[in-house]
Amino acid sequence: MVDTSTHGIGTAVTIEEVAAAAGVSRSTVSRVVNGSTAVSPTALEAVQRAISDLNYVPNRAARSLASRQTHAIALVVPEDTTRFFGDPFFAAIVSGINARVSRSDYVLNLFIASDDPGDKTTSYVRSGSVDGAIIVSHHTSDLFIDRIAAAVPVVYGGRPVRERERDYYVDVDNVRGGREATEYLVERGHHRIATITGPLTMPAGVDRLQGYRQAIAAAGLEEVAIEDGNFTADGGAAAMTRILERGERPDALFVASDLMARGALAVLARAGIRVPDDIAIIGFDDSPVATSVSPQLTTMRQPSFVQGEQMAEVLLDLLAGRDPRHVTVLETELVVRDSV
């Protein structure tokens, strides 16, 4: 039984308190109160029990409050501004999200958030100022996203770091992309293939490394070098420097983002190592970076704009009481240019 002694006479129990007691989002309570069928049996039972325990009476005024919509969606990016504005991936995915949201009755609010227990973004989202959230580029340390997910419906860009059965997300097949990139290098006759990974605190970094390892193992090769480049150009340059300092030069390199590949190319050029004559390189993204470097980069194309559209579509379905797919995985494609 929930303790209701803190509520004095005439103090109304709020829908947020019911949601907290039931362990569900505010919108789930709203759907139950308004008789929607788009609620799981488990959630329905939990909400009904919380309503009973808290003596919550969904009268006409309460129903109006429960069904209130802001028609606003939060796009939450747990990165610093330098990373956000410097990576073409974000431009593509935000464009896709905005394209879909602009065709709806909702407006999109962008929040570049940090892992701060008192983060303004978290407080704003949990205050009822938005109806749902899209979370892109999250790390294992971003614990605040769990507080957001407890307050409003959430769709993740990429596999969540703490994946749960009820999560909704849209991802690309990063494992397959990493594997196919590495397999192509093997097919081209390369035997000493290194990789520069993204952060291993992010599912995309982990999955692309897994794909590389699968291809290396299937070919009966040894892993030459694995270095984290943090999905940035500077990180890619630092990782390439560390690989060269080992003194065992690879003949090919799979780099888990085009930005990191740009940094690696700069280091190789300064060292007098020719691409692709001395070392072949494949990146990942097929961002504008791939065609702005010399030589132009062979890369794995991921449909970032479409991913953004799909994320917004899933969230809009949730907010409309529909039942979208929990997991959507998009395919990658090898784009061959001059670096192999």
The residue extents of the domains of the chain are 15-66, 72-172+304-330, 174-302
Of the two residues 237 and 166, the one the predictor is more confident about is: 237
Burial of 297 (0-12, 13-18, 19+ CB in 10 A): buried
Query: What are the tens digits of pLDDT across the range 207-226?
Result: 999 999 999 999 999 999 99
Cβ 15 vs Cβ 59: under 8 Å:
no
Tokens of 125: 């989202």
Q: Inform me whether the pLDDT recorded for 6 exceeds 50.
A: no
Q: Is 292 helix (H, G, I), strand (E, B) or coil?
A: helix
CATH of segment(s) 174-302: 3.40.50.2300
Please tell us whether the domain made up of 15-66 is placed in CATH 2.30.300.10: no
CATH H-level, domain 72-172+304-330: superfamily: Response regulator (3.40.50.2300)
Measured on CA atoms in the order 306, 235, 259, 207, is the torsion positive or negative? negative
Query: What are the tens digits of pLDDT across the range 270-316?
Result: 999 999 999 999 999 999 999 999 999 999 999 999 999 999 999 99
Amino acid, res. 225: A
Burial of 339 (0-12, 13-18, 19+ CB in 10 A): buried
Cβ 184 vs Cβ 219: under 8 Å:
no
Which of the four pLDDT bands, split at 50, 70 and 90, describes residue 59?
A: very low
CA distance 143 to 247: 40
Amino acid, res. 209: L
Could you check whether 15-66 and 72-172+304-330 share the same CATH topology? no
